[in-house]
Amino acid sequence: METLNNLFLGFELALAPEVLLVCLVGVTLGTFVGVLPGVGALTTIALCLPLTFQMSPLPGLVMLAGIFYGAQYGSSITSILLNVPGSAPAAMTCLDGHPMARQGRAGVAIITAMISSFLGGTLAILLLILFAPILAQWAVHFSSADYFSIMLLALVAAASLGIGSVVKGLIMVFLGLLLSTVGTDLATGSFRYTFGVAALSDGISLPALAMGLFGVAEIFKNMVRPQQISKKSFAVNWRSLLPTLEDFSLFWRPCLRGSAIGSFIGMLPGTGPTIAAFLSYAMEKKVSSKPQGFGTGRIEGVAAPEAANNASVQAAFIPTLTLGIPGDPIMAILIAGLLIHNISPGPQMLQEHPDLFWGVVASFWIGNVILLVLNIPFIRLWVSVLHISPKTLYPAMLLLIVLGVYSVNLTSFDVFVCVFFGLIGYFLNQQQYPTAPLLLGFVLGGPVEENFRRALQLSNGDMSIFIKEPVSASFLFIIIILLLLPILSIPMIGKKRG
């Protein structure tokens, strides 16, 4: 009952004209930076932070948060239409979203992405409303050993991503892991593989690597051999843009699973939407009765990662708002916005500033509704991007990517890194090596290594710490089952054939 009262208070505050307006501005800006390849939410939020100093705390937070989740909606659009992810978490949406567009189902893919993002966000917001303090307490108790096992599970799942053989997938995962070791070693402070280049002391930039492997590589491919996109995608009638009932029946389950995975991953500080999207895609592939169809334009492959990345972004507010523990650099900036106003997020915030907490939570849902309503009428406009001649489109995309990658750290070094990985990505694609596992290996490499070493440091080198902790042990058990399944199922397949 109290929750309901609080929620009413929240909606009352969030529907105030000023708050509603900044929410609209935030999510619209977010959608745009999402659509633009390379320009990430982090850069935009950092740039908009000073604007919030003059606002009162609620609208300021509402706007910054709106940019963050708005970008999750927007970033799927370029993934689907052009096979160029708007940001790293949307890389998974390319795998099936772009094949759908090439089959003339771009509108369906975009609507699926929007609805999935909306459902994922809604589920995470519900969790935030109902159980935020309990969940945050629970999530903060995940130890270094637990983190290691969860990340290892994601890594094992990574090898099965994308088209191509498992061996090629594994090679790519290891390549990603190797690349993740570049930079300053967290535990000893020494520089690894930096070759005296100061810019490498912070490691390879994730946006530069992701935009290179997926964006620039795709542009190179199209420059060498322009691809034909089905004329069906130019259809103008609404009918062909909307998902059919059959589509709905295919994607609601993946959407729910993606939302659940995304909410779980989002609650854990230090994870983020990229990992959530990867894990849920891998999950769909595992539970599907026809896993070989993934990567050829399956609607489940769009729904699951899109639900997961938006759910994880919303769920990340659980530890941020209730414990004052921001899970990633974006959340840290949001907290700074509050610190400037002398508000310290923490367990006391719910009591001391209930208006702020509930107002923000209510605005999340309003923002998600705005995004859904705002984007659906625009789908025809987005799809019309496919009309643009490749001669105009791809150079413009390349320019946008270069500017976007540059804007993250404002160093031209990152631009070279991006183009370098564009070439690598192009050759890998030529040789049928999947690039998604490489990206996941790179994203997970740091956390896997750090948590492994930290767990051993905490246990004084005793390996049994990984099986003594129940959470860690259960995830290791799941990994063993995943690894054994193919071996166990071989004789069964043999029997069937026989």
Partner 1 sequence: MKLSFLKSLVCAKFVLYFLSSCSEVVQDSSLDTDTWPSRPLRIIVPYGAGGIADVSLRLAADALSQQLGQAIVIENRPGAGGIAALSIMQNASADGYTYVLLSNGTTIAVSQFPDQLPPLLNTLQPVSSVAWFNFSIFVNSQTPIYSLADMRYEADTPPLRIGVINTGSTQYLAAELLRKNADLNATLIAYRSTPDVLAALLRQEVDMIIDAYSAMKGALEAGDLREIIAPDFQALSWNALYTHAEVPVEIIDQLRTSLSQALLSESLLNQYKELGLQARTTSANELNEQFSKDQKQWKEVMIEAGILEAL
Which positions from 388 through 447 interact with partner 1, judged by CB under 8 A?
Answer: 388, 392-393, 396, 399-400, 403-404, 406-407, 409-411, 446
Residue 236 binds to partner 1 (criterion: CB under 8 A) = no
Chain positions 323 to 362 lying near partner 1, rule: CB under 8 A, are: 323-327, 329, 332-333, 335-336, 339-340, 342, 344-349
Site string for partner 1, 458-497 (x = CB under 8 A): x-x-------------------------------------
Closest CA to 96 of 301, 293, 375, 256: 301
Site string for partner 1, 280-319 (x = CB under 8 A): ---------------------------------------x
Closest CA to 155 of 272, 264, 275: 275
Residue 185 binds to partner 1 (criterion: CB under 8 A) = yes
Chain positions 91 to 130 lying near partner 1, rule: CB under 8 A, are: none
Report the alpha-carbon angle 204-208-212, nearest 5: 120
Cα dihedral 462/468/474/478 (nearest 10): 30
Residue 44 binds to partner 1 (criterion: CB under 8 A) = yes
**Least distance to partner 1 from the beta carbon of 249, Å?**
34
Amino acid at 201: S
Chain positions 370 to 389 lying near partner 1, rule: CB under 8 A, are: 381, 384-385, 387-388
Residues 285 and 253: beta-carbon distance below 8 Å: no
Surface-to-core class of residue 103, CB atoms within 10 Å of its CB (0-12 exposed, 13-18 middle, 19+ buried): middle
Taking the C-alpha atoms of residue 418 and residue 437, their distance in angstroms, rounded to an integer, is 18
Instruction: Name the DSSP class of 292.
Output: G
Cβ closest to partner 1, residue 348 vs residue 432:
348
Q: Which backbone phi and psi does 40 adopt, to 5 degrees? A: -100, 170
Report the alpha-carbon angle 273-451-134, nearest 5: 60
**Least distance to partner 1 from the beta carbon of 245, Å?**
32
Cβ closest to partner 1, residue 303 vs residue 444:
444
Residue 83 binds to partner 1 (criterion: CB under 8 A) = no
Q: Which residue in the block uniquely carries the two structure tokens 């994880």?
A: 312
- Longest Cα–Cα distance of the chain, Å, equals 74
# residues near partner 1 by CB under 8 A: 74
Taking the C-alpha atoms of residue 368 and residue 96, their distance in angstroms, rounded to an integer, is 24
Give the residue, chosen from 21, 47, 373, 485, that forms a contact with partner 1 under the rule CB under 8 A.
47
Q: What is the SS3 assignment for 94?
A: helix
Residues 425 and 213: beta-carbon distance below 8 Å: yes
Cβ closest to partner 1, residue 258 vs residue 319:
319
Residue 199 binds to partner 1 (criterion: CB under 8 A) = yes
Tokens of 410: 């404002």
Residues whose CB falls within 8 Å of the CB of residue 386, separated by 6 or more in sequence, listed in order: 81, 101, 106, 229, 233, 234
Cβ closest to partner 1, residue 155 vs residue 282:
155
Instruction: Name the one range near partner 1 by CB under 8 A: 49-57, 119-127, 165-173, 216-224.
Output: 49-57
Residue 226 binds to partner 1 (criterion: CB under 8 A) = no
Residue 184 binds to partner 1 (criterion: CB under 8 A) = yes
Tokens of 187: 């535990």
Residues whose CB falls within 8 Å of the CB of residue 310, separated by 6 or more in sequence, listed in order: 69, 72, 73, 116, 117, 118, 120, 121, 124, 262, 273, 368
**Least distance to partner 1 from the beta carbon of 213, Å?**
21
**Least distance to partner 1 from the beta carbon of 76, Å?**
16
Q: Which residue in the block uniquely carries the two structure tokens 């094992």?
A: 156
Cβ closest to partner 1, residue 378 vs residue 477:
378
**Least distance to partner 1 from the beta carbon of 277, Å?**
21
Give the residue, chosen from 103, 143, 230, 296, that forms a contact with partner 1 under the rule CB under 8 A.
143
Q: What is the SS3 assignment for 191?
A: strand
Instruction: Name the one range near partner 1 by CB under 8 A: 12-20, 42-50, 66-74, 294-302.
Output: 42-50
CA 142 from centroid of its chain's CA atoms:
21
Cβ closest to partner 1, residue 198 vs residue 245:
198
Cβ closest to partner 1, residue 406 vs residue 466:
406
**Least distance to partner 1 from the beta carbon of 141, Å?**
5
